Amino acid sequence: MTEQDPTRRVPLTRETVLREAVALADESGTAALSMRGLARRLGIEAMSLYHHVANKDAILDGMVDAVFAEVEAPAIDGDWRSAIRARCSSLRHVLVRHPWAVGLLESRTSPGPETLRHHDRVLGCLRRAGFTIAGAGHAYALLDSYVYGFALQENAVPFDPSGQTPEELAALATAIMADFPRDELPSMAEMTAYALRPGYAFADEFEVGLDVVLDGLDAHRATW
């Protein structure tokens, strides 16, 4: 039995290509994604990629499908609020891991199987809960508008008080508030001091807002 050559390359697959494309986008955004750059990352010639993906659009389609595969799809049976809450929370966490995906998830004209399966499960959950077809459409649009919007805000927050020591937080609060025009902007001064207190985390706002959205959907469920 001959010893395996340790320098032998692991066979390239479509899944490998997409996994590296997602990793590249996580690091540098989709603007940095190109066939040539991805090939260089994989250590191959660009032409070799075309054996696995047709073009950059096909890569983006696959990346979106890979992201949807990470999101917890709601159960169709059972309590719809719990199922939709879990799905929305899962989607938010996925978008934190892949911030580039916010603007791409609903942009593809050739959605993959995981994308279609996810949408079908969300709509099925809402329809089983008693939403009309129009109501399910209203609910889905509102839910994703909230989750995507929150993800954009969360990824743009310049600092995270929950990840700092009390000493670091106190120093940051002192620096920010030192030149703050309290008399001119009293409400902003109050909110800034509140957000800089120990224990505050912007991420906690997600569940508060999601409760409001779900309450609103429940109230309109029978009228749409």
Segments in the chain forming alpha helices (H): 14-28, 35-42, 46-49, 56-70, 80-97, 113-128, 133-156, 166-178, 186-195, 205-220
Q: What are the structure tokens assigned to 89, written together?
A: 């929370």
Which CATH number is 14-53 given? 1.10.10.60
Q: What is the pTM of this model?
A: 0.85
List pLDDT tens digits, range 18-66.
999 999 999 999 998 999 999 999 988 888 888 899 899 999 999 999 9
List pLDDT tens digits, range 111-145.
999 999 999 999 999 999 999 999 999 999 999 99
> What residue spans define the domains of the chain?
14-53
How many whole angstroms separate alpha carbon 146 and alpha carbon 187?
25
* pLDDT for 10: 59
